[in-house]
Copies of this chain bind each other. A is one copy, B any other.
């Protein structure tokens, strides 16, 4: 019953490549918390991989599952970890900025104003794989974009905006123009209404990113922001749209990518796309920058075969790394055309349900 064997079984069940170190990291998370979603959060492994590793440990008597879904190491489990030199996960995240590296007290006012203004925001729905980031995250994101010189006096393209980043950017008073392209009518209407009420330079319109970018937006913007669905196909289409919208070299794109729905194998493929095909440099990858507010439809949309998974998260566990990319000069080569693609579901997706 060694780690390699567990890794192989998990791979067979999930079809997601799983290493001994992946197993170690889940066990290390488990040694520091008994809450499933916290283990997913600290181990930074795809959701289904974490679920199968815990199940594998349960079936071997290394952990017990409590009535409330709590996962606790048995004496055998503790001995196993000791024998394999696996230690409890250590946390050195800066409490002041929640690990983003970006924050100061001046931003509190903007955060408060954003909360007031968006108190009646539309709720996240499953149809479009929605889920929005915390207020602290959205304001930190605005600060990051400003700090890097990509916001003040600039034209900003927001591709998909259930986060209402456009409103936060407008409230900051920094950008010259903000255009939101969004598939959800509720959000388009909401953002336009708020922008008009508040006199913000924000304009939203309906758009499906599988369609080509409207001609008037090609090469118009200094900066784009998006949170792509995490299939490789969707990532490619999303980057194509964002980069097609930029004016040229030195312009920048911001987006999140998770470890929960994307293995490092997928990260590598995606990074190949970025640096080979898209002619950009990756300037920042900020770990767990984006924290998502828990969404109502979570438990109904994921697998229900393991009781320890079907528990309400007690923290904002779904997080993504913040990428910043900067264009070196090649965006004009990208073809602006319709690109149909699988948006949401691959083996690493949260809502993917493994077949038995």
A residues whose Cβ falls under 8 Å from a Cβ of B: 19-22, 24-25, 28, 85-87, 89-97, 99-104, 107, 143-144, 146-147, 149, 152-153, 176, 249-251, 264-265, 267-268, 271-272, 274-276, 279-287, 321, 326, 328-329
Contacts and interface: CB of A to CB of B under 8 A. Distances in A.
A271 B271 contact: yes
A258 to B, nearest CB: 12
B286 A149 contact: no
A105 to B, nearest CB: 9
B281 A275 contact: no
Query: Chain A contact residues: over half helix, strand or loop, or mixed?
Result: mixed
A272 B265 contact: no
A280 B272 CA distance: 10
Given A284-B321, A285-B286, 20 more contacts: A19-B249, A21-B249, A85-B176, A86-B153, A90-B147, A92-B103, A92-B144, A93-B147, A94-B94, A94-B96, A94-B100, A95-B96, A96-B97, A267-B283, A268-B280, A271-B275, A271-B281, A272-B276, A276-B276, A286-B287
Given A28-B149, A250-B19, A275-B272, A102 B95 contact: no
A99 B89 CA distance: 22
Contacts of A281: 264-265, 267-268, 271
Contacts of A279: 268
Contacts of A22: 250
A20 B327 CA distance: 12
A29 B298 CA distance: 45
Contacts of A284: 285-287, 321
